[in-house]
Structure 1
């Protein structure tokens, strides 16, 4: 069952737009979910943090840079759990890490992400975390666009759980 309050909050924040849009993976879509509009809206963040907090359990949290960082930060505050940030690639200066923050070998981690389309971004984070020694079996996203992310992550032993699907978000829009 979709969270109607979250759907309304995303719509009220104008985070759901219609038209022709190019997506990060190169495809096009007749709608766009603007993560920056919902990730900078306090009402949306509060609802997302509450929903994620109900689902993360005792696992350490990991946010996918850049979009997952506000989400993991508010969820960390809500759950009083520490978090790490997973980068797509190591930065070329400083510590040159792909995973920022404290992470212990064998620690169970759940990945938090904004929007899943193909699942590639979440999978990159999972791979970085696993390379750093984490056990990662779940990814939580705000919106699953239902365009292959669940299948891709599943092939790599990661269960995708979405607060909303594109079908939920676009129904009656």
Structure 2
């Protein structure tokens, strides 16, 4: 069952917009879930962090830069669990890191994401974390657009758990 308070909060900040939108994977959609509207609103961010916290035990957290950084930060503060940030590609200056923060070999990590469409961003992040020695089996996402992310992640041995699905969000609009 969808969290009614979270749906109402996303609607209040107009996080779901209708029209024709190009998505990051190159496809188009007649609606867009604007993660920056819900991630920059303290009430929405707090509800999301609380919902993520209810689903996480003693794992380290990871967020994909840039979109999931507010989510992982708020969740970390609320749970007192440490986190790392996964860059989309290795930094070409300074330390040259792809993963920022402390990550121990064999550490269990849960990836937090904003919106999942194809799941490619999450798959890339999990791959980088696994390459660095982490154990990653779960991705938690605010909204699953229900466009193949769950199936693609499952094929990689990763469970996708969404706070909301696009169907739940759109049915309430």
When the two structures are superposed, what TM-score results if normalisation uses the length of structure 1? 0.99
| Structure 2 CA distance for aligned equivalents of residues 96 and 115 of structure 1 | 27
Query: 1:52 maps to which residue?
Result: 52
| Structure 2 CA distance for aligned equivalents of residues 91 and 162 of structure 1 | 29
RMSD: 0.6
- Matched residue of 2:114: which SS? strand
State the shift of 1:172 in Å. 3.5
| Structure 2 CA distance for aligned equivalents of residues 56 and 26 of structure 1 | 32
State the shift of 1:80 in Å. 0.4
Query: 2:64 maps to which residue?
Result: 64
Query: 2:84 maps to which residue?
Result: 84
Count of matched residue pairs: 173
1:16 counterpart = 2:16: yes
1:108 counterpart = 2:129: no
Query: 1:130 maps to which residue?
Result: 130
| Uncovered stretches (5+) of structure 2, i.e. residues with no partner | none
Stretches of 4+ moved more than 6 A in 1? none
| Uncovered stretches (5+) of structure 1, i.e. residues with no partner | none
Q: Is the 8 A contact 2:7 2:172 kept in 1?
A: no
1:53-90 superposed Cα distances (whole Å, 9 cap, x missing partner): 00011110000111110000000000001100011110
Query: 2:147 maps to which residue?
Result: 147
When the two structures are superposed, what TM-score results if normalisation uses the length of structure 2? 0.99
| Structure 1 CA distance for aligned equivalents of residues 90 and 96 of structure 2 | 5
Q: Is the 8 A contact 2:61 2:109 kept in 1?
A: yes
State the shift of 1:95 in Å. 1.1
Q: Is the 8 A contact 2:2 2:168 kept in 1?
A: yes
| Structure 2 CA distance for aligned equivalents of residues 56 and 95 of structure 1 | 30
